[in-house]
Structures are given as C-alpha cells and as structure tokens.
Amino acid sequence: MDKITIGINQRIPMSVLELGLIAALHDQATNDYLRELVATEFQGENRIRLGAGVLHKLTCGNPLLPVMKENKDAVMASLRSRLDRPIVLSAVINAAYSIAYDVTAILGKYLHVQNEVSTALLTAKLAEKYGSNRSMPNGRDCVVPMLIEAGLFERSRIGFYKAIRHSGFSPLAADLYRRSFFVFNTMVPEDADVSTNPYFEFLDR
C-alpha cells in the first residue's frame, strides 16, 4: 500500500502537454480535445483514458493555471522561448504531481554535491515517502522522462542523471517555477527566501 497517492500512470510527451496547456489557457481544453491529443500518442481505450486524465490534471487541473491565464500572452511567449520553455514546462509538471516535485528536489539535493545521481539512489529516496510497490517506480518512470524532455536535467548515461544549469530565463518563468515550489510547501511563507532549497538547484541563482 502506498504511503501517498502517486496519481500519474502515463508519460505525456511535451508536444502534447504544450498543446493541451495552450488550449487550457484559452478555455478550449474540452475532454474530447484532450482525448484527441492523447490518442495521437497512445493506442487502446484504456491507455487513452488514463492519458487524458493525466493531461487534464497537468493542464485544466493545474494549480498554476489561474496565474498563467492572467499572464496568457507572456506564457505563450515563454513556451516559444528556448530559455523559458524548460522552466515553464517543468513548473507545470511539478505543480501537478508531488512525485515530480520530489524527483526534482531529490536530484537537486544530490547534484549540488556530486556530478551524477543514480536511478538507484533516486528510487531509494522516493521509496522513503511513497513506499516501494509497483506504482512508485511506474510514477518515477513517467515523470523522469517528462522532465528530461522538458529540459530541466539530463540523462548522462544509462541509470544516471546530470544537472543542467539554467540561466537567462524571464521573471515570469522564474515566478512560475517558484510558485510550483509552494504548491507542496504550504507552511513556508510565500515571501521567504527559498533560493537555496535543493528544488532550485537547476536555476542559476
């Protein structure tokens, strides 16, 4: 039995996430549209249904969506920016699923002091929170490739991850990433200096 619900059971490609997010920003992300997007990548009714549920949580159900809609034009520009896109997409993923947030924070913690982190270490640390049954590795294997495709960090070799140090991104991208931190740290004052938290390891301070 899981200690905490993981919730994600399908990997969503970034091209699909971006289209779904753009639709949500314009109030056009109907259930049918999200299913159509997912169906371009997956076959089988069950996989499409599960994928559409994940895509809905990433977009329409995302805690960052209200502030993104308030800054719609700037978000659209950020999605087209080579410097902003990895930060914005990672913030969206991490705000939607706690396991994605935890993957980022764990990797950030260890990549602060070493060049690579192994899948084995990441899995052991995730198991401390989520338990070690099948759903945890499945969740890990969904969010890690998504964050790699988003461009937050990279796979240096099989079974190992390496940091990418991001710089030059816009204040909006930084703000969305910061807001994604507070989704799972509600007891931390929003005006607190959290820049040294491991979650921010991938952003040049």
Kindly list the domain boundaries of the chain, sorted by start residue.
14-200
Question: Do the bridges between strand 160-163 and strand 153-157 make them parallel or antiparallel, or are there none, so unpaired?
Answer: antiparallel
Cα 144 to Cα 151: distance, rounded to the nearest angstrom: 11
pLDDT band at residue 205, thresholds of 50, 70 and 90?
Answer: low
pLDDT digit string (tens) for 27-42?
999 999 999 999 999 9
Cα–Cα distance measured from residue 13 to residue 11, given in angstroms and rounded to the nearest whole number = 7
Average confidence (pLDDT) over 100-106: 98
Tell me: the pLDDT tens digits for 178-192? 999 999 999 999 999
Q: pLDDT class for 4, splitting at 50, 70, 90?
A: confident
Q: Three-state SS string across 27-57, please? A: CCCCHHHHHHHHHCCCCCHHHHHHHHHHHHH
The pLDDT assigned to 2 comes to 40
